[in-house]
Chain A
Amino acid sequence: MKSRLILLPVLALALLGVVLGPIGAKLLGFERLIDAPAVHLAPQKIFAIGGFTVTNTLLSAWLTCIVILLLFGLGSRRMAMVPGRLQGFLEVLVEALYGFIRGMAGERYARRWFPLLATIFVFVAFNAWMALLPIYPTVGFKAEGADHVTTHLLRSAGTDINMPLALALIAFVFIEVWGFRVHRFGYLREFFRFGNPVQTFIGLLELISHFIRIISFTFRLFGNMLAGEIVLFMMTFLTFFVTPIIFYGLEILVGGVQALVFMGLTLVFAVLAVAPHEGHKEEHAEAGQH
């Protein structure tokens, strides 16, 4: 009975949203109440410092960094053996990420790789989750003559291709540096195989695949974040109330999953880079015989 009392008004609100939205306007023949949302692929300029332009996505990234630093700084300020709530939350997060990394990379690399990989997760996830706050799509500036916000003050950094690209470049450099660090110049044998044409071709493909990772990393995150933003815009535009909440829940999940995927793939590629290659295995075997 109690749940019915809650459910009925919610359903009525959802229906009202659809009726008042563009679907209702089309079916019932009245004029639309709001304009269709505008999708900006590129970030919007907020202000400039000298020749350097600060965009709404960069501003959002900085805000996210401040929130992350405040959260982690306050949570780990006075570390106690019996943790409080915030410390407990941070410990659970750090423990889970560390366990994930250690499970794949082993104890040897986990401690060294953890800071970068954990920060990738935290940065991507918090950027995605912060963008779900209502101030993101509502606070901004109106263009002259416009009756709605045309330049948003804040926008998810993940929807700016420069952010995923920067992370992809960092991941690429991280993976290759560790490959070189472990195998020295033997790492190049993975790409330059001059035994026979098939091996040469495989090496070339391997080399290309390493560079292709930059693009795949970039567009996977960028595409998911941008698509999420567009879906939220469109569902809010089409249904007004209630229904977008479902998609907000979905976006919370997507943010976490994308962060985990970015971190996980960087980890997997790094593990592959430091794993012994075929040539190295032979060298190790020969060294073992001597």
Chain B
Amino acid sequence: MLAAPRLAEEATGIGALGIDPWSLLAYLVTFGLLVVLLYTLAYKRILGVLDARSGRIRDSLEEADRVRREAQEQQEAMQRTLLEGREEGQRVLAEAREAAERYREQQATQARAEAAQLIDRAREEIRQERDAALEQVSSEFASLAVSAAERIIHRSLDPDAHRDLIDEVLAEGDARAGRN
């Protein structure tokens, strides 16, 4: 048979447990002192630091929230400004386009007017040139007629011959006018 643990003292009943009022009192005092000392030396300080740290964390979180809110507000404001800027830019661009279009149309109108003026002027000049040419032709006709007359006079005064001669000169004059 294996050895079993044996009771060291031969005591009976509850007395074997060793309940002792003085020991009990000693434990009560020891524990009471331990509570007081631990509270004074450690618990108060540790709980204080834990409170302070949790307070600081709470403050930091609130500060972080505030900063995040402000950043968000700033971002929103910036986006609003950007949007306004973009709208303003688009408006300015549209106005510029409109002005450019107006200017282009104005220039085109002006160009057309100038072109019309130029054409008119050209026509006028052409007309004047033609008139001058006609006048010149007429004067040349006259000189031709004179030269024809001179020729006639130097030859004979045959009416048919004169007529032929005049026709010839006129044809010559027409040919000349056609060339011009």
Q: Which residues of B contact A252 (CB under 8 A)?
A: none
Check if A115 sits within 8 Å of B45, measured CB to CB: no
Q: Which residues of A contact B47 (CB under 8 A)?
A: 94, 98, 111, 114
Query: Which B residues fall within an 8 A CB radius of A?
Result: 2-9, 11, 16-20, 22-24, 26-28, 30-35, 37-39, 41-43, 45-50, 52-53, 56
What is the CA–CA distance of A80 and B46 in the complex, to the nearest angstrom? 10
Q: Which residues of A contact B3 (CB under 8 A)?
A: 22, 32, 35-36, 237
**Shortest Cβ distance from B16 into A: residue:** A41
- With A161-B19, A162-B23 known as contacts, the answer to whether A39 contacts B42 (CB < 8 A) is no
Query: Which A residues fall within an 8 A CB radius of B?
Result: 22-23, 26, 32, 35-43, 51-53, 55, 57-58, 61-62, 65, 68-69, 72-73, 75-76, 79-81, 83, 87, 90-91, 94-95, 98, 111, 114-116, 118-119, 122-123, 150, 157, 160-163, 165-167, 169-170, 222, 230, 233-234, 237-238
What is the CA–CA distance of A26 and B1 in the complex, to the nearest angstrom? 8
Is chain B's interface secondary structure helix, strand, loop, or mixed overall? helix
Shortest distance from the beta carbon of A134 to any chain B beta carbon, whole Å: 19
Check if B50 sits within 8 Å of A61, measured CB to CB: no
Check if A79 sits within 8 Å of B45, measured CB to CB: yes
Check if A115 sits within 8 Å of B39, measured CB to CB: yes
Q: Which residues of A contact B46 (CB under 8 A)?
A: 76, 79, 87, 90-91, 94
Check if B34 sits within 8 Å of A81, measured CB to CB: no
Check if A81 sits within 8 Å of B30, measured CB to CB: no
Check if B16 sits within 8 Å of A42, measured CB to CB: yes
Q: Which residues of A contact B6 (CB under 8 A)?
A: 36, 38-39
What is the CA–CA distance of A268 and B43 in the complex, to the nearest angstrom? 22
Q: Which residues of A contact B27 (CB under 8 A)?
A: 58, 61, 157, 162-163, 165-167
Q: Which residues of B contact A222 (CB under 8 A)?
A: 17
- Among B8, B28, B42, point to the contact of A169 (Cβ < 8 A): B28
What is the CA–CA distance of A289 and B75 in the complex, to the nearest angstrom? 54
Check if B5 sits within 8 Å of A53, measured CB to CB: no
19 contacts across the A-B interface (CB closer than 8 A)? A35-B3, A36-B6, A37-B5, A41-B9, A41-B16, A41-B17, A51-B22, A53-B22, A58-B30, A65-B30, A68-B38, A90-B42, A91-B49, A94-B43, A94-B46, A157-B27, A165-B24, A166-B28, A167-B31
**Shortest Cβ distance from A169 into B: residue:** B28
- With A32-B3, A39-B5, A166-B24 known as contacts, the answer to whether A69 contacts B37 (CB < 8 A) is yes
Check if A41 sits within 8 Å of B7, measured CB to CB: yes
Q: Which residues of B contact A39 (CB under 8 A)?
A: 5-8
What is the CA–CA distance of A41 and B53 in the complex, to the nearest angstrom? 47
Q: Which residues of B contact A57 (CB under 8 A)?
A: 23
Check if A68 sits within 8 Å of B28, measured CB to CB: no
Shortest distance from the beta carbon of A173 to any chain B beta carbon, whole Å: 10
Please give 11 more A-B residue pairs, beta carbons under 8 A apart, in addition to A39-B6, A111-B47, A166-B24.
A26-B2, A36-B3, A38-B6, A57-B23, A73-B42, A94-B46, A95-B50, A119-B38, A166-B27, A166-B31, A170-B28
Shortest distance from the beta carbon of B30 to any chain A beta carbon, whole Å: 6
Check if A81 sits within 8 Å of B22, measured CB to CB: no
**Shortest Cβ distance from B53 into A: residue:** A81
Check if A69 sits within 8 Å of B41, measured CB to CB: yes
Check if B31 sits within 8 Å of A52, measured CB to CB: no
- With A76-B42, A94-B47 known as contacts, the answer to whether A119 contacts B5 (CB < 8 A) is no
What is the CA–CA distance of A172 and B17 in the complex, to the nearest angstrom? 21
